[in-house]
């Protein structure tokens, strides 16, 4: 049964509510009544009711002031205000004090009971929540710090999804949105517990209270669980921390943050933060790497490397064509060397799970794939010629003379005859065809690319008009017309 106090300066209203409503049938007991706010405070102190119905306009002390003072001493107490049609300003003040329910005068049983039922239901829910919180606080105090940290580590590594301790930790920290921060200190083999404690304290001092939830270490990295609601504060704090470590420890620090998610997704968030660092190994990156700022995520592998087309190549020349296109796409996207290397590793993993990835260069990939797929490899001289062409498509000064003098050390005339026998084409025509084929495919891959940038990527950086002329000669349309129709 809930207890109720009625505070109203009008005796008829006050006593009418107290005596003529069958409170027992609603499991409510009226413990007392009061004529004004000052008397109401005395009755609250004496009877400690669950809820008080309070008139707003009263002599001596009005309802607003009474609620304000009562809330200071009894913050968990619930109030329902009685107001007239002209009391909007007072009702608004009551709402600011946390009052959620009001009853318009004149009031009767049909108006009061539904409102009181809602208020008591909320009170019951608050009590249950407080009881759960008290229980969790008691249990949390019993958990030793190292045990909580181990549970956090297990959640990060996906080892604790079913354990009762992990569920308890998840309940304790709540189901709100969280983010995983990964602090990676380059050239340092690892952190002992004291160093992690120092890093955690430094970060905690820089963040608003309640933002930093947990700190631990995996290998050489420090991992932090943070409240995602304070994202901007986290980014600023990490930036300061990075500067501090560069000053005092002379250690470059990289950091990444996962997307936001619940604690149940912790292992997924951890892997995402790891992948961001793997794709961005440049200490000149922004202080905090976020998924939205990094285009070169693992899902772009299939966009860059057409793995099926690579598998279906039947000759060394076709293989070089596909590889050169893949590397040109990375160049078109302006991927950094670290991103290129990571994408190559991920693509290779999709092709050959158990083989070490080659370097992110055209010759390394060509050699590795030829060996892996038993492609018929041309003689060494032909191989060198094809490789030189596809490596140097973006180089405007590249010519037959370049191959003759710098790669094969023979006369240009002799190489011209050899090339004609190999391909049935003149070298200049073959090079033009390779470049325009590359340009056509790049336009299909990235239609919004500027024509000047396209010309630069395929070896025509200084003369866009000449590039368009060659493109039209081979494709029958200008680059712009080709883009508009594809």
pLDDT tens sequence across 468-479: 999 999 999 999
DSSP 422-436: HHSS-HHHHHHHHHH
pLDDT score, position 40: 94
Question: Which CATH code fits 378-486?
Answer: 1.10.10.60
Mean of all residue pLDDT scores within the chain: 78
Same fold, 2-136 and 145-280: no
Both tokens assigned to 33: 């009544």
CATH number of the structural domain 2-136: 3.40.50.2300
Band (39; pLDDT cuts 50, 70, 90): very high
**By C-alpha distance, which of 154, 220, 228 is closest to 183?**
220
Report which of residues 17 and 137 the model is more confident about. Answer: 17
- Mean pLDDT throughout 53-66? 91
d(Cα 15, Cα 33) in Å, to the nearest integer? 8
120-145 per-residue burial string, b: 16 or more CB within 10 A, e: under 16: beebeeeeeeeeeeeebeeeeeeeee
The pTM of the full predicted model, rounded to 2 decimals, is: 0.45
Residue 249 has pLDDT above 70, yes or no: no
Q: Which fold has domain 145-280?
A: Alpha-Beta Plaits (3.30.70)
End-to-end CA distance of the chain: 75
Give yes or no for residue 223 having a pLDDT over 90: no
Angle, vertex CA 380, rays to CA 378 and CA 386, nearest 5: 65
Note the pLDDT tens digit of each residue in 351-394. Answer: 776 566 677 778 887 777 877 776 677 788 888 888 888 888 89
Q: In the predicted model, is pLDDT for residue 161 greater than 80? A: no
State the average pLDDT over residues 169-194.
62
> In the chain, what are the domain boundaries?
2-136, 145-280, 295-365, 378-486
Average pLDDT for 400-416:
90
Is 198 a residue whose pLDDT tops 50?
yes
């Amino acid at each position: 049964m809930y207890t109720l106090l009625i505070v109203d300066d009008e005796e008829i209203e006050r006593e009418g509510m107290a005596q003529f409503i069958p409170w027992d049938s609603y499991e409510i007991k009226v413990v007392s009544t009061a004529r004004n706010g000052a008397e109401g405070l005395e009755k609250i102190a004496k009877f400690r009711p669950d809820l008080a119905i309070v008139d707003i306009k009263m002599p001596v002390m009005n309802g607003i002031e009474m609620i304000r003072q009562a809330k200071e001493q009894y913050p968990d107490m619930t109030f329902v205000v009685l107001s007239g049609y002209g009391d909007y300003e007072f009702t608004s003040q009551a709402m600011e004090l946390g009052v959620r329910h009001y009853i318009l005068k004149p009031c009767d049983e049909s108006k009061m009971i539904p409102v009181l039922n809602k208020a008591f239901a909320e009170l019951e829910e608050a009590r249950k929540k407080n009881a759960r919180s008290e229980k969790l606080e008691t249990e949390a105090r019993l958990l030793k710090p190292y045990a909580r940290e181990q549970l956090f580590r297990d959640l990060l590594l996906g080892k604790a999804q079913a354990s009762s301790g992990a569920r308890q930790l998840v309940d304790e920290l709540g189901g709100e949105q969280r983010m995983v921060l990964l602090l990676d200190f380059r050239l340092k083999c690892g952190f002992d517990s004291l160093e992690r404690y120092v890093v955690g304290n430094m970060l905690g001092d820089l963040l608003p209270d309640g933002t930093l939830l947990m700190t631990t270490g995996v290998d050489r990295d420090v991992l932090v669980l943070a409240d995602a609601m304070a994202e901007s504060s986290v980014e600023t704090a990490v930036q300061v921390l990075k500067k501090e470590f560069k000053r005092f420890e002379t250690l470059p620090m990289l950091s990444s943050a996962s997307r936001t998610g619940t604690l149940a997704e912790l292992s997924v968030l951890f892997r995402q933060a790891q992948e961001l660092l793997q794709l961005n190994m440049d200490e000149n990156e922004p202080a905090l790497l976020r998924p939205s700022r990094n285009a070169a995520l693992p899902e772009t592998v299939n966009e860059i490397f057409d793995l099926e087309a690579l598998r279906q190549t039947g000759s060394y020349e076709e293989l070089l064509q596909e590889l050169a296109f893949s590397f040109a796409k990375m160049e078109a996207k302006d991927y950094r060397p670290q991103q290129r290397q990571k994408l190559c590793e991920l693509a290779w993993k999709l092709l050959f799970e158990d083989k070490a990835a080659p370097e992110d260069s055209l010759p390394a990939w060509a050699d590795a794939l030829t060996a892996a797929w038993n492609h018929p490899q041309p003689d060494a001289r032909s191989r060198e010629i094809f490789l030189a062409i596809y490596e140097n498509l973006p180089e405007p000064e590249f010519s037959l003379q370049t191959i003759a003098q710098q790669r094969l050390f023979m006369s240009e005339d002799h190489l011209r005859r050899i090339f004609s026998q190999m391909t049935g084409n003149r070298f200049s025509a073959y090079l033009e065809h390779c470049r325009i084929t590359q340009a056509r495919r790049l336009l299909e891959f990235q239609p919004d690319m500027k024509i000047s940038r396209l010309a630069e990527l395929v070896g025509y950086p200084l003369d866009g008009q000449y590039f368009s002329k060659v493109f039209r000669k081979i494709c029958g349309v200008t680059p712009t017309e080709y883009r508009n129709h594809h």
